[in-house]
Amino acid sequence: MDDFAKTVGAEVRRLRIQRKLIQRNIALQLGMTPSVLSRKERGSMTFTRDDIKQLITIFALNPEESLRLLMIAGYIPDPGSIPLFPGDLRAIASPWLQSLTFPALVFDGLSYVRVWNGYMEALYGLSQCSTGSIHWLDYLFSPLFQQRVSVRWEALIVQQLHDFYFNSLPLAQEPNYSRLLVQLKQKHGDEFVRLWEAVLNDILSNSTTTATPIAQSMLYWQSNQATLEFVIAHKPIAPMLSLWVLVPHGMLGQHTLQQVLAGTTAEPLYFRP
């Protein structure tokens, strides 16, 4: 019995029982026998994409629940069907960011920066990048960011493009994804195209390539007085919302960060549409 199929089946069963729906009635609506549905819920058979789409309707799932079920089942949602940050962004993100003592920010599924805390602003000045929406890659290609990382810039860009590719895969069929790539190529020209194509070639030539492990995902900051090296800790906090916390490397790094951020607080929080 496949563990993946068991996980999907268990989630479908949980949703069905939660709604007090009878297995026989659900099977009838899916066009299968109760015994087949029972086998799928136990994980001895797999749910097809059509099964999942029908279950979303039968269970009357909201956008967040629909996305979660599709992702658990391993299916890419239909284009235009995914809200990039479902729910109340302030209610979801604020409790996380206000409680942290490190720089932190929240991304949507396409890597637009939706909110960040005062520590992140003090170090990287994201609000200076744009008064409107901010895409993480736009910021990384900006002179503002390049000043903060100096000679390490290209290596960081390659790593971040690599992670962007894998993190945005669930949205690869979305019209917004295609438009974003066109905008990035137009805005940053040959430099973006060269680095993006290098990352794609590396991924396509290595079938075992995956997203960068958390322990290897790094970010840097430097000034005339200090240099900081961060490990990026990732945590999904809602469908299509991911929290990044910049954890300084080692005790010396934490001490240096405290000195650099002396007098700074997590507040205010900075939001972008």
DSSP assignments along 111-171, one per residue: -EEEEE-HHHHHHH-GGGT-SS-EEHHHHHTSHHHHHHHGGGHHHHHHHHHHHHHHHTGGG
User: What pLDDT is attached to residue 13?
Assistant: 95
Q: What's the CATH code, domain 3-73?
A: 1.10.260.40
CA distance 68 to 254: 36
Tokens (6 digits) for 25? 């009635």
Q: Among positive and negative, which fits the CA dihedral 269, 262, 224, 100?
A: negative
Could you report the average pLDDT of every consecutive run of 10 residues in the chain (273 residues)? Answer: 81 95 95 95 92 94 81 73 66 88 92 94 91 93 86 88 87 84 95 95 74 64 87 84 90 91 89 88
Tokens (6 digits) for 200? 């794609």
Residue 221: name the closest of 177, 260, 182 by CA: 260
CB distance 73 to 55 below 8 Å: no
Residues of the chain with CATH 3.30.450.180: 89-271
- Yes or no: domain 89-271 corresponds to CATH 3.40.50.10090: no
Residues of the chain with CATH 1.10.260.40: 3-73
DSSP assignment, residue 207?
T
CB distance 116 to 105 below 8 Å: yes
pTM (two decimals):
0.72
